Chain A
Amino acid sequence: MLNIEEIQKILPQKFPFLMIDRVLELEPGKRIVALKNISINESFFGGHFPGQPVMPGVLIIEAMAQAAIIMFYAPENIPGDKQASYYLGSVKVRFLSPLTAGDQLKIEVEPIKVISGAGLVRAKASAGGREVASGELSFSVKHG
């Protein structure tokens, strides 16, 4: 649905902080299903943890937030707003199962309530059919 070139055009985050590799399903403003492949080459595995690679939970939250940005601000939805800044407001996420190298992280996001300039979304993360994390994120947007 969206490849990495298209994703890079939408997300303000850049290497090495891109947490979405591909978008599988996208209904702008309504729903997104996105993927991140986790490789043993991820730099954070060097320290988290030596000899026991576990993807940091905060980065799963970051992947959820980036998926939410794509869902709301894909070009079809809001054209050409490259100056927007995104601020995470609150995070209520439960982690259910660890992620490691070789896992394919699947993120699903849908809005709970959206107003102009702010939103509250529900996000679910899974890998190979097992639930990894789920919760709610609120954020605000400032258009530049």
Chain B
Amino acid sequence: MPDLENEIRNMIAQIVEKDPSQVTLDAKFFEELGMDSMMALEIMAGMEKKYKITIPEEKLTKLTTLRETVAVAKEYLEKKNA
């Protein structure tokens, strides 16, 4: 899902105030992109709003890279459409 990946990349880039090119699939949010827990919460809330899904709190620890984040979004989009 290239579109999902790019949409989420742009959202993350805006929240961590980096260029989207720095948000690679495996760049580590906390160590490499300077993310904190409040930014992670904003990303979660941003995805919930954009895709009209609900992501439970325990998934927050999963949000460590773009790859993982896209996988979480995909999982809940599939659940919604099931």
Chain A residues with a Cβ under 8 A of chain B: 89-90, 112-113, 115-120, 138-140
Contact = CB atoms under 8 A, between A and B. Distances in A.
Interface residues of B, number: 12
Chain A contact residues, majority secondary structure: strand
A90 B38 contact: yes
Interface stretch (B2-10, B20-28, B40-48, B69-77): B40-48
Interface of B: 36-39, 41-42, 44-45, 48-49, 57, 60
By CB atoms of chain B within 10 A, which of A113, A117, A140 has the most? A113
Chain B contact residues, majority secondary structure: helix
Nearest to B40: A118
Contact of A120 (B36, B41, B57): B41
A68 to B, nearest CB: 13
Contacts of A119: 41
Contacts of B60: 115
A113 B38 CA distance: 11
B45 A140 contact: no
A90 B42 contact: yes
B60 to A, nearest CB: 6
Given A115-B57, A115-B60, A116-B57, A138 B38 contact: yes
